[in-house]
Structure 1
Amino acid sequence: MRSVLIAGPTASGKSALAMDFADSMGGIVINADSMQVYDTLEILTARPPKADTQRVEHHLYGFVPVRQSYSVGQWYRDVRGLLNDPQILERPRVFVGGTGLYFKALCGGLADMPDIPDAVRSHWRRALEQQGAAHLHEELRLRDPAIAGELDVNDSQRIVRALEVFEASGRSIRSFQQARGHALIDEAGARKIVLMPDRLELRARIERRFEAMMEQGAAEEVRRLLELDLPTNLPAMKAIGVREIAAYLAGTISLDEAVERACIATRQYAKRQLTWFRNQLDASWERRP
């Protein structure tokens, strides 16, 4: 068994389980969480502590500047390059994270979409804010009428995504969607585990973990992030806890209220993750509480 895949919602104990597997196999841990790729937010995104990274080799953590956007396609290509490294090629690897699309790409179920330059992404996000979804839907109809005909005029996110892809590549997003990706692992020989913890237990874990984050310096971490004066539409600025702690630092809410709001947001996110795993991961995945 050369590959172990461990998926699960936030605060479900994925990282500890990944450490156990990697340690026992003499393998490496590879990040499959879309927020843990960013630098600056080490505490708030619950990146593995230094004690773990010193004991077991970890990859794809904290290497993307927060001022950049990082896509599933970029992650796929970074993993492909990593697995082709002669130093890593024959080593057991444990993929761990809460981003379902990363696992889907890993197993070949997601098309390799083109990279979207930041300037293109910013242009269309700004156009959406200024002109609205209906206007952008008409723009899409002129460029890619087949896709526009399939999308509701109010489906702003998919409209913007289609425009971004068309401008970046000169091709319809459909041409990418129809091409199935190539699996990066031998899925038949991999062990696949998804953690599905009890709801009340997960709620308690979320609350304990966020309180620990605050004790470890999450507020100071957010302060450093805000000092960068980044656009609010960047993924790192949308990390759970950033908005809530920023409001506390601005003096508009109390610390207790910031913690409560962040825990609520985390619980809502965990619920969405569990729904996705339940609906998208087939019976080949071992369910664990």
Structure 2
Amino acid sequence: MSRLPPAIFLMGPTASGKTELALELARALPCDLISVDSALVYRGMDIGTAKPSKEILAEFPHRLIDIREPAESYSAAEFRDDALAAMADITARGRIPLLVGGTMLYFKALLEGLADMPSADPVLRAELEARAEEEGWAALHAELAAVDPESAARIHPNDPQRLIRALEVYRLSGLSMTAHRQRQMAQNPVFDSSGSGHLPYTVAQLAIAPAQRQILHERIAQRFKRMLEQGFIEEVEALRRQNDLHEGLPSMRAVGYRQVWEYLDGKLSHEQMEERGVIATRQLAKRQFTWLRSWSGLHWLDSLAHDNLQRTLKCLESAAILG
């Protein structure tokens, strides 16, 4: 049996230092980068997403950055198709795909495939959003807990995008997301010994984060303040001038963008906007940690360690990625 081609997954919560380590790896190895981030796909959303600078992208091009307009949607299924095509192209060039980002759902979709769930229904989504406006997101979360307790335990009440999707799947199909995934697992083989599931690659899976959560919280607060200094508010003002944008779009629900949008609408003071932006980012990091804690086959790295490149190279050797 021929050996599967290598690939590297570099995961972690927001502000953990993923990009810096990815660039070190790209300097040391014949790697091409693929972004695994649901916000970096959007053009014009640069500051609030901590998108790599134009200089970095010129030296180290990232696939799947700036591939959609903010008014457009982008699903996990689309990401999987795009990522598989990019990985195949990189492999054909004799190089190693290095996938880096914090959208865990995208990594999971790559590894396991996607259950056969119904497509989005704009009418039902509008109905659910209107109900949330009237009754609050906690009411929708309670409804989800009644029909799909496993998904409700995984989805935070303040995560409207995933909450609506879970209820939408149940309303449209009569089956919960959990039931869809269980049926998928019954129909398909589980992960193989390489940990790559249905993905035809030998995958080394790495996660980077500070060992102490408080350090990550401080990094998040500092980074949000720096974004504001760099012109984050002006960036959102420019996006708002595009008449086809509204705050209900997935792009404008991205962490930070929603809070700045509400500030520009006069709903929040500058201080409230900054405070809520930091809190929302910390909540995102907490959800990312929840995904990662249940992830099998991960090799963890401490963001503050000075030898992460060496540790990573050693891990890649033991995972038969190198050599």
**TM-score normalized by structure 1?**
0.78
Decide whether the 8 Å contact of 1:31 with 1:60 is kept in 2: yes
Q: Specify whether residues 113 and 261 from structure 1 end up closer, same or farther in structure 2 by C-alpha distance, changes over 3 A only.
A: same
Decide whether the 8 Å contact of 1:82 with 1:88 is kept in 2: no
Give SS of 2:99's match: strand
Count of matched residue positions in the alignment of Structure 1 and Structure 2: 259
Counterpart amino acid of residue 271 in structure 1 = K
Counterpart amino acid of residue 241 in structure 1 = G
User: Which one of 97, 100, 119 corresponds to residue 96 of structure 1?
Assistant: 100
Residue 305 (structure 2) aligns with = none
Residue 58 (structure 1) aligns with = 62
Decide whether the 8 Å contact of 2:118 with 2:169 is kept in 1: no
**Do residues 204 (structure 1) and 229 (structure 2) align?**
no
Spell out, residue by residue over 1:40-60, the C-alpha distance to the aligned partner (whole angstroms, 9 max, x if none). 211111111112211112100
Superposed displacement of residue 277, structure 1: 0.8
Distance 1:87 1:5 in 2: 15
**Do residues 287 (structure 1) and 292 (structure 2) align?**
no
Q: Specify whether residues 176 and 277 from structure 1 end up closer, same or farther in structure 2 by C-alpha distance, changes over 3 A only.
A: closer
Residue 234 (structure 1) aligns with = 249
Distance 2:118 2:76 in 1: 9
Distance 1:274 1:205 in 2: 16
Superposition map of 1:215-254 within 5 A? 215-229=229-243, 230-254=245-269
Spell out, residue by residue over 1:201-234, the C-alpha distance to the aligned partner (whole angstroms, 9 max, x if none). 1111111111221122111111122223424332
Which segment drifts farther, 88-97 or 258-267? Answer: 88-97
Decide whether the 8 Å contact of 1:38 with 1:66 is kept in 2: yes
Superposed displacement of residue 255, structure 1: 2.4
Give SS of 1:253's match: coil
Residue 36 (structure 1) aligns with = 40
Residue 72 (structure 1) aligns with = 76
Decide whether the 8 Å contact of 2:34 with 2:86 is kept in 1: no
Superposed displacement of residue 90, structure 1: 2.6
- The percentage of aligned residue pairs carrying the same residue is 32
**Do residues 16 (structure 1) and 20 (structure 2) align?**
yes
**TM-score normalized by structure 2?**
0.71
Superposed displacement of residue 161, structure 1: 2.3
Superposed displacement of residue 114, structure 1: 6.2
Which segment drifts farther, 176-185 or 204-213? Answer: 176-185
Spell out, residue by residue over 1:4-27, the C-alpha distance to the aligned partner (whole angstroms, 9 max, x if none). 111100000011111111221121
Decide whether the 8 Å contact of 1:4 with 1:95 is kept in 2: yes
Counterpart amino acid of residue 114 in structure 2 = A
User: Which one of 5, 9, 27 corresponds to residue 5 of structure 1?
Assistant: 9
Decide whether the 8 Å contact of 1:27 with 1:94 is kept in 2: yes
Distance 2:130 2:275 in 1: 33
Q: Specify whether residues 17 and 86 from structure 1 end up closer, same or farther in structure 2 by C-alpha distance, changes over 3 A only.
A: closer
Give SS of 1:47's match: coil
Counterpart amino acid of residue 46 in structure 1 = A
Give SS of 1:85's match: helix
Unaligned runs of 5+ in 2: 133-145, 153-162, 189-196, 303-323
Distance 2:215 2:183 in 1: 40
Q: Specify whether residues 241 and 172 from structure 1 end up closer, same or farther in structure 2 by C-alpha distance, changes over 3 A only.
A: closer
Spell out, residue by residue over 1:71-120, the C-alpha distance to the aligned partner (whole angstroms, 9 max, x if none). 11110011122223378553111111111121112222x4254683xxx5
